[in-house]
Structure 1
């Protein structure tokens, strides 16, 4: 089983990838490259799913009674994940505005 540090780094990695891809999607939409924009959003959501799986595993473990050590790194990872979710949501809206 992975330690909390490794899990945290995986969440940071995939969350960061998701955020970066969502930003790329916006950049493509700004120049009317909507096919590329949609592709980047799909990739962002795939990366988000990977990050979310690690988070879900932690939550399920805690629900089973496993003690989860809350460390600053895990809090940082959660920040990355929530930031990525927000950027993806906003990217979807910004892309729709550019399409209009």
Structure 2
């Protein structure tokens, strides 16, 4: 995979993961916890896909600067980190909404 495709793959998957998480939060707010859980599970798949690419890049780089670091690469990494954080926080928020409704 060329560098541009690799970076775009991270961006697209991370963006979709974050989007799924935000939709899950809306569902939880509306009391649809089954759908919220499905969306969070879907977000996991997108995060895993992006993380696989990230891991591949780390392996290619081997800590020796073999993979060129560009602004778009940093942007993609930022998106992935934010998606992972959103997933973790929104999962906790869904649990809180469930407890509140009980």
- How far apart are residue 25 of structure 1 and its match? 0.5
- Matching residue of 1:39: 38
- Matching residue of 1:97: 96
- Give 4+ residue runs of structure 1 displaced > 6 Å after superposition: none
- Matching residue of 1:54: 53
CA RMSD of aligned residues (A): 1.3
Residue-pair matches, total: 99
Where in structure 1 are there 5+ consecutive unaligned residues?
Answer: none
Q: Which shows bigger deviation, 38-47 or 57-66?
A: 57-66
Q: 1:64 to 1:53 in 2, by over 3 A?
A: same
- Matching residue of 1:14: 13
Where in structure 2 are there 5+ consecutive unaligned residues?
Answer: none
Give TM-score, length-normalised by structure 2: 0.92
Give TM-score, length-normalised by structure 1: 0.94
